[in-house]
Amino acid sequence: MTPPSLAEMIGRIQGLPVMPAVALEVLDSMAGADTDVKSLARRITQDQAIAARVLRVANSPFYGLQMRVSTIHDAIVVLGFSAVRSLVLAAAIVTSLPAGRCPGFSQDRFWRHVLGTAVAAQALAQPLKRPAEPLFIAGLLHDIGRLVMVALYPEHYTAVIDLAREQDSCLRDAEAAIFGFDHAAVGAALARGWNFPADIVDALAWHHAPEHGTPGGLAAIIHYADAISQALDLEETENSQMPRLHQEAIDGLGLDWQKLTKVLADTQARFDSYRLMLG
């Protein structure tokens, strides 16, 4: 069972289900492309699977709406375009990127971790005085490379999972041992191929090694958001373990005790709402 090279893996990505057009449009509009809000709302509404998931979250207690919203248009009016756009992207990605069959890999746990990281990144935006949307997207996509590895090479990935269990190591180390590279490298290559914004590519590439990322970029924040999601046990996996945290990157964020505690509570509340998307 010879593992593929990174180039081979990236070459096979075309064989994967594509990102839904709505998700790409949403990403483009986030990157500042001139998007017509009304036409995007109309396009989202046409995709019932996505719209239903978005409305489920929009009507959760987290948003505290006085009345139920029943259409994407109403959700945009009440919650604002940017909030709905984030929800749409999450729903589109969750709905459309299946992991295929890989014994030992739980798609449900994967999405719980990913959504947890995305909402932790969103929660970090306020104390760090950063725009929430790019952080949310970076969180949502941070482990996308893992999904590619699982979908394209399920047998190899089962070996990764087995090795991690045997050695009680993290999946990332086991990926490097089996493939010779990890999900961060795959995710970054994929994001480059899909022409994602540079700050997102940077975050995907360096969320485990923020010291190599662009200074002041998103990598350090996603590094911490990933850990916050794990610490809150949002994935609910018995043998999961905390990633190693890079002290300088964490110190560089300058979060005091009070802010960090608030981020934990905020992340938990957001997650309780966003998880409705998965059910």
Q: Which residues bind other proteins (CB under 8 A)?
A: 168, 224, 227-228, 230-233, 240-247, 249-250, 255, 257, 260-261, 264-265
CA distances from 68 to 43, 87, 128 (A): 21, 16, 32
In the complex, least distance from residue 209 CB atom to other proteins, rounded to whole angstroms = 12
Q: How far apart are CA 169 and CA 164, in angstroms?
A: 5
Per-residue b or e along 98-132, where b marks 16 or more CB atoms closer than 10 Å to that residue's CB: ebeebeebebeebbbbbbbbbbbbbbbbebbeeeb
CB nearer to other proteins: pick between 39 and 261? 261
In the complex, least distance from residue 264 CB atom to other proteins, rounded to whole angstroms = 5
CB nearer to other proteins: pick between 18 and 242? 242
In the complex, least distance from residue 54 CB atom to other proteins, rounded to whole angstroms = 28
CB nearer to other proteins: pick between 177 and 260? 260
Q: How far apart are CA 119 and CA 123, in angstroms?
A: 6
In the complex, least distance from residue 212 CB atom to other proteins, rounded to whole angstroms = 15
CB nearer to other proteins: pick between 107 and 240? 240
- With vertex at residue 209, the alpha carbon angle to CA 205 and CA 213, rounded to the nearest 5 degrees, is 60
